[in-house]
Structure 1
Amino acid sequence: MFKKVNRESIRRRKHLSIRNKISGTAERPRLSVYRSNNNIFAQLIDDVNGVTLAASSTIEKEIKANVKHGGNVEAAKLVGKALAEKAVAKNITVVVFDRSGYKYTGRIAALAEAAREAGLKF
């Protein structure tokens, strides 16, 4: 008998390994990404103080009005751009990227590239 691979538990194990290596500060927060089938969420986190500095997702009214479906590359680009604009408004330009165990392709890469184009450095 073959055992079915539980990809979510593998991703969580990778995420914990990544989190042991990176941490966000007030000067250089962590850009954390969560991806579901229908939406994508991104936030800038100061791990030292345990505070979210800025957040953006496809469930926000401004972004939801511009996308037909929140689980595609175009939506991820809008989320990345919106998050970067919020960060630059708070004088945050340098971040550390936390892909949360997801592969750097598709929506994750699109969000990262859009954030870079809008002014974030990582």
Structure 2
Amino acid sequence: MGDQEITFIIECEVKADLASEFDALVPLLESVANDDPGTVEYRWYRGPTPTSMCLYERYRDSEATLAHIEAFGHEPTKRYLDLIELTSVIMIGPASEQLTAQLAPFFEGSVPGVTAVWYRT
């Protein structure tokens, strides 16, 4: 792993009545993210139940992560966020002040129902 890489492990539950729509959206999300030059890896994994999912994503550095967040703030991400309930967010790496400010609601505990942990190097 690069010493500036930012890694996320994000767990969520897909809303049961929207599972087929979510499954159809995942390839688009993966394609768009993996075409981004700052993305090292972006992949969805199915959990122990049909509705539990885990997103594993790695970015070159904080700047690339912020670019991803900005790019994904558009329609596909808004739609995917409508299809899921976040349960946990783990961020690993030397996040910049700008990145931690952007994600502060998660790590300060102000996003209801989401547990968030940041592991620093």
Fold conserved between structures, TM > 0.5: no
**When the two structures are superposed, what TM-score results if normalisation uses the length of structure 1?**
0.33
Question: Which protein shows a greater Rg?
Answer: 1
**When the two structures are superposed, what TM-score results if normalisation uses the length of structure 2?**
0.33
Q: Higher strand proportion, which one?
A: 2
